[in-house]
Amino acid sequence: MDNMMIKYLIFPCMLLPAIVSCSENGLQEEGHGYLSARVYEDGSMNDVKIPNEKFPELKSGDGTDDLVFSLTVYDAYSNQVAYVEDCSTLAKNPMEIRVGTYTAVASSASSGPAAFDAPFYSGSTEFSVAADEVTNIDITATVANTKVTVEYSDEIEDNFQSYDFTVTNGQGQLVFSTVDCTAEDGRLVSRDGYFTVTGTLTWTLSLVNNDGQKYQDLTGTIDGVKAAQHYRFSWSLAHEPDNIGAGAITVILDDSMNEKEYDLVLDPDDTTVPEITEDFEYSDVISVEIGESVSRKLTVNSPDGFSSLQLTYPDPSTFAPVKVELAGASEETISALSAIGISASSVASETTSTEVDVTSYLSSLPIATYQVTVLAVDRGNTYTEKTYNFDVITDVDAEAAAVNAWAMFADVQGRWFAQTQPEGLSFQYKKTADADWTDFAGEITVNAESRTYTARLLGLAAETEYVFRAVSAEDKETKEMTFTTEQVQTVPNMNLDSWSDQYTLEGGWDSANKGSTMVSLYPTQKEESHLAVADGSGKAAAKLESMYTTFIGMQIFAAGNLYTGQFVKANISVSDPGAELDWGVEFTARPLALRGYYDYRPVTVNRGSHNGMNGQMDIGQIQVMLTDWDAPFRVNTSSEQFVDTVNDPAIIAYGTMDLNSTGESYQEFEIPLEYRDMTRTPKYIVIVAAASKYGDYFTGGEGSTLYVDEFSFVYDPSDLTTPPEMTVGE
């Protein structure tokens, strides 16, 4: 098999270090990085049939990198955030870009629907810009066109005065002309034609012999044409030069996955080719209802007999393509086809007509689109190939397809099966124990390309089994799908009222400041007078204050903080001060946001200098994360072992908020949880509040004070300031 002839262009893009602010545990939030790109062109070509001296292997820096590539950067929401016309300019002038996750798309200049020696390349990759580190990305740009080349034997060049080969994709055409492609020695120069992919190529060969006799044009059409495929036409004579009555063509399709070789003899005096017809209406997509008995029979006529008759169809169990040869097929092959519902016969070489019946086969397939291809080659080696796309559908308009159930709502998806969208698409739902259905009255989001639509069912009860179904204006008796809503869970003592003493919270809450009590520093304390909600007895809040002292030669800075988890041990030493903490308490629900109240009174940072904060106004912080760690995360401030909130794959959802001065009064806050995975169930939750965001790095303002009170979770999207996006479907 020939290797596919593709140029690869590699873009190693370097993200220079970005100066950004980091959270107390290493979170990158604000700032910029710098994107730099260098282009390397690999023009090596592999084709065992046509040696191509135009494209020897190229090495970086040899002056042959003449293609210009643009670079477009998109954010996670497919919004274009940056563009540069020539990627090579980034080597000297890096592109400034904010910290985040992006997709880079590299493209060469388009050459129109058809052009010689002008391939269009495109490639993309995802990358992240992180703070204080270098990120390298590679983009492999591959040929996005279909490639066509033509070659003639010496006998054709010696015995014909012109042999023009025309190829069109329906939008543009190229003529591989004797005049345009002839070198000084009189031999034809191989040219590379590149076509925009339209799915079809039609070719015409025009021949005039040395006596001026013009032969009838030979034509053909190739369907199923894809990008990065190379169609190579190689013509030679089937007879001696004194009898110029026929020609031969070899078409090789190399798409790097499979190779089709057709050795075809075309006689200008014999215009007959195999013909494939069907007893149903042919179209680009042919709808078949599940279980229907409408005949789907293919008839193949070949006046010159058969040298090959190939049938390609999806295996009904794996859906992988299977190719069988019916010319001279064994009884075992015919029986195997019959077992899956395909009726066919073994075809002898002298047979002129045969049938392939796929009626039963199609009616047994599940809902999906399937491709069946028939290739007929006659004994004169002319051929016809035809592909059928069968869309197996149900006899109902729509049905339930997917659901993502939360505690107090569910995102549901339905799909329809007709070629056009049915009227009145919607949903009905109810508790499984109820008799009556509720008609969904909210907004429907439609995706016409995938024939799906989605909606959000609100006002559901937690830990309750429901059933829903997709409906249309004409069809309500459709497939039902059952789901159970999740639990509404809380963390003990979220109102922060319960303390075992003045400095120790109860209910799974702790502080990293326990070591500082050994030197009479108490950054985390119970607050009973300054409360967000004063009604009721026994109310309390948490007062977190950043403090500083010296102890036997050590300078000790402790930022007031609290977190869900457990203090492990303190490390009080001059050379390596710090603490070890276990972050996280068991938690298996999926809230949408963390709410509460805070009052923050910062001062100028006068201790430490992490992230250039010395002399700047201090920043407080509240974080919340859901994870499926196998155990609580061991934080070690001495060795700077913190949770990587950007890249840790165990983090299912995360939210954070930086705090500034509140003017000495409580303010309500709401931190939405951004879910990175919509299917996994959490095992732990971490809630962290700190008077100095960079306290883990012993940086903050001595005296910065944060009051927090009355934490709670939000489970109902109707209660949120900004409801979350749909969590099912596309």
Q: Where along the chain do its domains lie? A: 8-143, 146-266, 275-393, 398-484, 499-714
Stretch 91-104: mean pLDDT, rounded?
78
Q: What percentage of residues in the chain have a pLDDT greater than 70?
A: 79
Average pLDDT of the chain, as a whole number: 81
The pLDDT of residue 255 = 37
Q: Give the contacts of 160 (CB within 8 A, at least 6 positions apart).
A: 207, 208, 209, 210, 244
Neighbours of 705 (CB within 10 A): 23
**CATH code given to domain 499-714:** 2.60.120.890
Domains 146-266 and 499-714 share a fold: no
Beta carbons within 8 Å of 274's beta carbon, 6+ residues apart: 300, 301, 302, 306, 376, 377, 378, 382, 383, 384
Cβ atoms of residues 259 and 274 within 8 Å: no
Q: Which residue has the higher pLDDT, 339 or 58?
A: 339
CB 559 within 8 A of CB 700: yes
State the average pLDDT over residues 516-532: 86
Q: Are 135 and 66 in contact (CB under 8 A)?
A: no
48: left (phi over 0), alpha (psi -120 to 50) or beta: alpha
* DSSP 8-state assignment for residue 56: -
Residue 543 has pLDDT above 50, yes or no: yes
| pLDDT (0 to 100) of residue 64 | 32
Encode pLDDT of 412-460 as tens digits: 999 887 778 889 999 999 999 999 999 999 999 999 888 899 999 999 9
What number is the average pLDDT over the span 348-367? 90
pLDDT at 269: 57
Q: Is 117 exposed, middle or buried (0-12, 13-18, 19+ CB in 10 A)?
A: exposed
Label residue 723 by pLDDT band (50, 70, 90).
confident
Q: 428, 427, 482, 481: which is closest to 453 by C-alpha?
A: 427
Is 2.60.40.10 the CATH classification of the domain at 275-393?
A: yes
pLDDT-based confidence at 36, cuts 50/70/90? low
Is residue 205 pLDDT above 90, yes or no? no
Query: Which pLDDT score, from 0 to 100, does residue 656 have?
Result: 97
User: What's the CATH class of domain 398-484?
Assistant: mainly beta
pLDDT digits (tens, 9 = 90+) for 312-321: 999 988 888 9
**CATH label, 146-266, candidates 1.10.10, 2.30.29, 3.40.1710, 2.60.40:** 2.60.40
Q: Provide the pLDDT for residue 453.
A: 95
672 pLDDT band (50/70/90 cuts)?
very high
187 or 711, higher pLDDT: 711
Among 4-13, 25-34, 353-362, name the most confident range: 353-362
Q: In what order do the strands lie in the sheet with 465-471?
A: 438-439, 426-431, 465-471, 480-484
- Tell me: pLDDT of 29 over 50: no
- Does position 471 have pLDDT exceeding 50, yes or no? yes
Identify the band that residue 242 occupies on the pLDDT scale cut at 50, 70 and 90: very low
555: Cα separation from own chain's centroid:
51
Query: Which position has the token pair 């970086």?
Result: 60
Whether residue 495 has pLDDT greater than 90: yes
**Predicted confidence band of residue 573 (pLDDT cuts 50, 70, 90):** low
Query: 128-142, 243-257, 349-363, 608-622: which has the minimum mean pLDDT?
Result: 243-257
Does 505 score more than 60 pLDDT? yes
pLDDT of 258 higher than 50: no
Kindly tell me if the per-residue pLDDT of 70 is higher than 60: yes
Does residue 216 carry a pLDDT above 80?
no
pLDDT band at 48 (very low <50, low <70, confident <90, very high): very low
Q: DSSP string spanning 162-207?
A: EEEEEEE-SS-EEEE-TTTTB-TTSPBPP--EEE---SEEEEEEEE
pLDDT of 262: 42
Q: Take residue 559 and report the two structure tokens written for it.
A: 């930022």
- More confidently predicted of 183 and 602: 602
pLDDT-derived band at 486, boundaries 50, 70, 90: very high
What is the pLDDT averaged over residues 561-588?
84
Q: Give mean pLDDT, residues 91-117.
A: 80
Task: Give, for 585, the enclosing helix (H) or strand (E).
Answer: strand 585-586
